[in-house]
Amino acid sequence: MLKWFGPLAMTALIIGSCSQKSDSALMTAPVAAPAAEAPTAAPPPSIEGLPAGAYKLDPAHASLVFTVNHLGFSHYTGQFTRFSAAMTLDPANPAAAQLTATIDPASLSIPSPPEGFVAELTGDKWINAAAFPQMIFKSTGVALTGPNTADVTGDFTLRGVTKPVTLAMTFNGGYAGHVQDPHARVGFSATGVLKRSDYGIDFGIPAPGSTMGVSDEVTIAIETEFTGPPLAQSAQ
């Protein structure tokens, strides 16, 4: 019996030691932290709480940019720097909003134009600003597409031709006013596409299957802020 006692005792000691180490490791093992919850997305801005009434474009916080494809090599960009707009807005019925915008075609601005190029573009082959001194957009309908988005359809007049155009608009935010800005203020972004050939501007359009020229499609990007009813009125 004694000859087995030694090995058995050693085995027991080893098992006991391993058990103690295992228990100690379990007690000291780091506990995994619970997975962090994904941040909750901020809700889209809402026009609720804004005053109903007439809003006027703030030209210091507005831009009207257009882009055309040039030879298939680049997207050539220009802008009109003089334009105005008026809007009626009722937060209780945003689909009833109405918008009118007037653009001065002679205010065309393009980056680093060659000598005489702006005069050519505003001349009779292109915009013909002398004969048609205004471009006008008048909304005819508003279709809500999301909590803060809408498709605004309207009649756009250029060179004496009027065609329907749809702008995809996004409401970016607004407030009823505060001490330093005592009027309601709202901001929108809008994009749209029109064909210049619809308005008799077909010079330089590429032949079918070619990109040699300037695209018929013109992409429009608009950024705007409007000021509205005064704070005292909106607080009533």
Q: What is the pLDDT of residues 179-196, one digit of tens each?
A: 889 999 999 999 999 999
- Residue 13's pLDDT band, with cuts at 50, 70 and 90, is very low
Q: Which residues contact 116 (CB under 8 A, 6 or more apart)?
A: none
Element holding 150 (H helix, E strand): strand 149-158
User: In b/e form, how buried is each residue of 173-212, taking b as 16+ CB within 10 angstroms?
Assistant: ebebbeeeeebbbbbbebebebebebbebeeebeeeeeee
Q: List residues bridging with 102 in a β-sheet.
A: 84, 136
Q: Convert the pLDDT of each residue in 133-169 to its tens digit.
A: 999 999 999 999 999 999 999 999 999 999 999 999 9
Per-domain boundaries in the chain: 53-234
Residue 14, both tokens:
């080893």
Q: List residues bridging with 226 in a β-sheet.
A: 57, 186
Residue 54, both tokens:
């007439």
Q: List residues bridging with 154 in a β-sheet.
A: 139, 165
Query: Would you list the DSSP string of 67-131?
Result: EEEETTTEEEEEEE--EEEEEEE-TT-GGG-EEEEEE-GGGEE-SSPPTTHHHHHTSTTTT-TTT
Q: Convert the pLDDT of each residue in 104-141 to its tens digit.
A: 999 999 999 999 999 999 999 999 999 999 999 999 99
Architecture of the domain delimited by 53-234: Beta Barrel (2.40)
Q: Which residues contact 186 (CB under 8 A, 6 or more apart)?
A: 47, 50, 55, 89, 171, 173, 174, 225, 226, 228
Higher pLDDT, 33 or 195: 195
**Is residue 85 scored above 60 in pLDDT?**
yes
Instruction: Report the C-alpha gap between 23 and 40 in whole angstroms.
Output: 41
Query: Would you list the DSSP string of 165-183?
Result: EEEEEEEEEEES-BTTB-E
Residue 111, both tokens:
């980056």
Cα dihedral 93, 48, 229, 79 sign: negative
**Is residue 199 scored above 50 in pLDDT?**
yes
Q: Number of C-alpha atoms within 13 angstroms, CB side, residue 23? A: 6
How deeply is 33 buried, as exposed, middle or buried, from its count of CB atoms within 10 A (0-12, 13-18, 19+)? exposed
- Residue 39's pLDDT band, with cuts at 50, 70 and 90, is confident
- Whole-model pTM: value is 0.80
